[in-house]
Amino acid sequence: MLLAMLRFEWRYFVRQPSFIVTCMVFFLLPFLAMVVDQVQIGSGGNVLFNSPFAITQSLLILGIFGMFMVVNFVANTATRNDINLMAEIISTKPIKPLGYNLGRFIGAYLVCVTVFAMVPLGLFFGSIMPWLDAERLGANSFALYLAPFLVFSLTTIFVLASLFYAVAQQFKSTMAVYLSALALFISYVIAGQVFDEPDQRSIRALLDPFALNTFGEYARYWTAFEKNSLLPALDGFILQNRLLWLAIGSVILIVGGGLFRPLSLSTKKSKTLLKAEAIDTTLLTKNFQHRTLTSNAWAQFTSRTRFEIKQVFLSPAFLVLLLFSSFQLIANFFEISGMFGTPNWPLTQTMVSLIGGSFSLMLIIVITYYSAEVVWRERTVGMGDIVDSMPVHNLTFWLSKLVAVLLVVIALYVLGTVCAIINQLLSGYSNIELGQYFIRLLYFDALPFCLLVLLAFFLQAISPNKYVGMLLFVGYFFVSLAFSQLGIEHNMFNFGAGPRLQYSDLNGYGWFMQTQHWYMFYWLSLSVVLGVLSFGLWQRGPSSNLKQRLSMLGYQLGSKGWAVATVALLCFVGSGAWIHYNTKVLNDFYSQDEILDFRADYEKKYVELELQAFPSVTAVDATVDIYPSERRIEASAAIKVVNRSSQAINRFLVNLPQHSRDVSVTIVGGQLGEVDEKFNTAWFEFSQPLAPGEERSGVIAVVREHKGFKDAGEDPTLINNGTFIDNFALFPSFGFNEGIRINDRHERRKRDLEPLQRAYLLEDSSHYNESFFGPGVEFIDFSATISTSGDQFAIAPGYLQKEWQQDGRNYYRYEMDAPMVNFFSLMSAKLESKKEVYKGIDLEVYYHASHAWNIDRMLESAKDSIDYFQQAFGPYQHKQLRIIEFPGYRGFAQSFANTVPYSEGIGFITDLRDPKDIDPVYYVTAHEVAHQWWGHQLNAANVQGSAILSESLSQYSALMVMKNKYGETRLRKFLTYELDRYLRGRSSELLEEMPFMRSENQQYIHYQKGSIVMMALEHELGETALNQALRGLLEEYKFRSDLYPTTLDLLRYLNEVATPEQQTTIQDMFAQITLYDLRATAVESETLADGKFKIKLTVSAAKYSADGKGQENEQPFAQDVEIALFSADPNDFGADNKVIYQGVHSLQSGESTLEITVDTLPTYAGIDPFVRFIDRDTGNNIIKL
């Protein structure tokens, strides 16, 4: 029986068109992912297209989408007899249930396995296509595709098939299976959010039924070399996860799959169906007497609409949908976190964004399902002909069903709003902005999905059955994804879409409201056309094909229908023309490929100027008029320039800024030539060459403004409230623009560009006279006069000398009393302020009125930082320090001379009430204050390692301030985050990881690794010696523009205060890529006769050196390592934790057993507990007694 049923199920499915279509889909998706450059899953950078890592990632990600394929086949198998009314007949046969049920299940399972086997086949055949870039492919073997399929996919499909088969057997309902799939998906998303902290990832890896997180944790820190060479092995997390889910799937199948249940008939479904039919007939016959719209049409419509709404809203499916939507939202509420896992306050803008993000994918599924179920309900239950015979107009049927589905969309957003407000109140936040919930959720979020409902109805209207309609709707999304990947990126081609809203409490909706009006009018017009057509093609009476209904379309619509469609079509065309005019005529629109082509063309044309000299600016006196409501700036600057090169300058390239017009550059003895419109560049020609060392004066002027609106890439610097722009963005720049170069080596090769040298070699002394800000950027004399609207104030670096009002505008005059870097900000806003004088320094924080939570913490950090930095490195060069909030369109803080613009999203809205959390406000403020020394007193040379002297030293300075305030134990959590981010950063390196001292603007090195290295160095050398070395470096090079330091100079000063042994350690840290594997493997305690405790701790140590691609070689380990004993878990900052013992022990490669005698019995022991080493896995450094 088992084999017979298996063969039957197999033959049944392989003859179905759905089997062929599904196989084609699961073959083509991975095939396209392999052959289309723009579609990459797991590959990119140095990771090959056909690497084991990329193949495994593709299988696991598509495995999640494969869940819905499994639903289709397994639900069909489990419910087919009941749907086809065969259950009665089969129940009368002497069939043994185990063989019958198990054979059907295995048959369906093998069908699912066969379909999903198309994924590795698609990947394999895609990888052998002749047009692929050979440099992005490795050695090919089908074993690379088969291994992850066997390890991961077979188990995942079994678990899914067992679950859905059991649900179908229990409920005898396809609906229940779809709901269980949705519930599983939502639960999966929730679990991923709940178990996202570093110490919880092992739980997430173990509990993931799809094994995506399991493999992610297993290969978390794999380098490009490892991703290209290592196959996932069936051990560790992977083995545990697969065995666990095999067991769970087996239990579900045995207990819930009804394998041993006698094949008796269940009448539950038929009774329910009869009840539904009775209700349906009663409602449909009430008050319906005419086929045309007459005086009782409204009563018919309201009656029918009530019926449709009840059918949807009172169904178990809808109630389950609301329940799981609530669960997902609640889980998301716990994840409103900012930097380092510290939560943010639940601002309304945050909650609205969270609701929108939570529901986006779910709503696509909801619309796909409900549009099909509601449109085809009567025909599905066999009542179609009866209902169609009723004297009710087509419009009543069509519109009532449309309203029901639209209300499902709106109901989810209403649910989200209620949950969000409750969460805000429970969190102690009371500034509930109902207007935001209404406008953003209904207008910006819900309306596009409502338009998608009309598209779904249209697709159902032209489909022969609901499944084809669902397939067409889902197919649309795959096509739209393909559009964006193939360069069709304008929102005019993405149904219902518009430029993504970025809301800010400072600037409100900004320019997005106008843009949204036009895009929604555009798509609403098209949706009306589709709605009219779907109404006209509405199927009434005996089944008719699309061709027959098209022939009757004119009759069905009538003159009024055609009039509505014509007006809507004209509105669609007219609004589309206006959008095109604004986004492609008044403004530029480029696809990603076009942008890359432009950058390549710029480099090809001007790269020969890379080393050509141009004047350096030595003085700036700017006059800037900001018109916030018009998004316009009129700016000019009197400048002085000097030729720092050894040769006369005859001409130089001028790069004009974006969004600018009326640009002029005037320098004595020369003039600006014609503008190259393609590259927005021009040549400045000297009639009298600028001689070496010669200084001349000049004037630059520009008008920056915005016309109309853009489809993407709106300028966030010049806005109604919170303008923040720097001189590099506002004024023209001189010389070859390095920032335009393409960094991706594959994109460079496609465009015939030479391999990129990201930075000049550390030893190239010809660039030691260039600042890391770029050639020609040095210390200048600065002053500025800024005006803005009468309700705002304006700020620039320097000290306010004068302010006045004129013609309803506010004017401010700033002057700097000492040289500063030619890198300055200009800001205008309506903000509150808090000011203090601390040791003769004016401290000021400007903030939005509703963001006052952390102002005192910023001031405290600024005071502590100034105290520590002045004592450690030297005096602060200014008498003022200002922190100014700007809109969260950009999420960073940036240090200018005595001025720190600070985004609302990374500190002002951080919730610091829980003392166990890392304090990012205190840290970021300290880091930016540190830049007043490292960056604004000392500039680095424009060679490898330049960011180390700016960012890494600022990291160290800020961490020392944090250590003094919070202690070393609290700092451990911060460094654990930094280590994790460094290891992940090196795993996604695009070119090559460089040693620390040769970092080529690689953020994961100069920020994250910089934190670990500098704090380890502080532990190795001691705070006093390290600060002495840094102070010496600073004193030699501060405020110099003739010669800038490098990391070689930093090493020179470090070696002066280091012993020979310490110099070896420094060399490892700075000149090599070194990693460690430190573990605490066993611990036991013994009570001694004197009441003390002997702790026997077994540890192991290993050391590895790596090349830039991540290939590692083991090295001998012989170093001192810190060992500590704790009274509580060092990861639990809420505990009253004490360090019982902390000492340094000399360890060799391999295992070592240490004996430590202490007065107090510890509960935890650890090796390298304070993260001094670059350890691949810190999770095994701490062990519990």
Which CATH fold would you assign to the domain 1073-1185? Immunoglobulin-like (2.60.40)
Q: Compute how many other C-beta atoms are within 10 angstroms of the C-beta atom of residue 48.
A: 23
Domain ranges of the chain: 2-256, 268-575, 763-776+939-1072, 1073-1185
Q: Compute how many other C-beta atoms are within 10 angstroms of the C-beta atom of residue 1118.
A: 11
pLDDT at 77: 79
Q: Which residues pair with 723 in a beta bridge?
A: 828
Helix (H, G, I), strand (E, B) or coil at 550: helix
Parallel, antiparallel or unpaired: strands 632-642 and 670-676: unpaired
- Give the contacts of 1100 (CB within 8 A, at least 6 positions apart): 1077, 1078, 1079, 1081, 1150, 1151, 1152
Helix (H) or strand (E) holding 902: strand 899-903
Q: Are 214 and 206 in contact (CB under 8 A)?
A: yes
Only one residue has tokens 């519930």, namely 183
CA gap 879, 744 in Å, rounded: 44
Only one residue has tokens 């620039």, namely 796
CA gap 470, 477 in Å, rounded: 11
CA gap 722, 730 in Å, rounded: 16
The rounded average pLDDT for each run of 10 residues, N- to C-terminus, in the chain (1185 residues) is: 79 84 87 73 74 91 87 80 56 64 86 93 90 82 91 94 88 79 81 71 86 88 88 87 93 79 51 41 39 67 86 84 83 78 92 89 87 82 66 79 93 94 93 94 94 94 85 83 76 91 92 92 96 86 74 82 93 96 92 91 93 94 96 96 94 93 93 93 95 96 93 89 96 93 87 89 94 90 97 96 96 94 96 96 96 97 98 96 95 94 93 91 97 96 96 97 90 92 88 93 95 96 97 96 95 96 93 94 92 94 92 92 90 72 93 93 93 90 91
pLDDT at 195: 74
CA gap 936, 930 in Å, rounded: 9
pLDDT at 43: 63
Buried b (16+ CB within 10 A) or exposed e, 147-178: bbbebbbbbbbbbbbbbbbbbbbebbbbbbbb
Q: Which residues pair with 784 in a beta bridge?
A: 622, 814
Three-point CA angle 21, 24, 28, nearest 5° = 145
Q: Are 397 and 375 in contact (CB under 8 A)?
A: no
Buried b (16+ CB within 10 A) or exposed e, 515-546: bbebbbbbbbbbbbbbbbbbbbbbbbeeeeee
- Tokens found for residue 372: 């099909």
Helix (H, G, I), strand (E, B) or coil at 663: strand
Prediction pTM value: 0.88
Which CATH fold would you assign to the domain 763-776+939-1072? Neutral Protease; domain 2 (1.10.390)
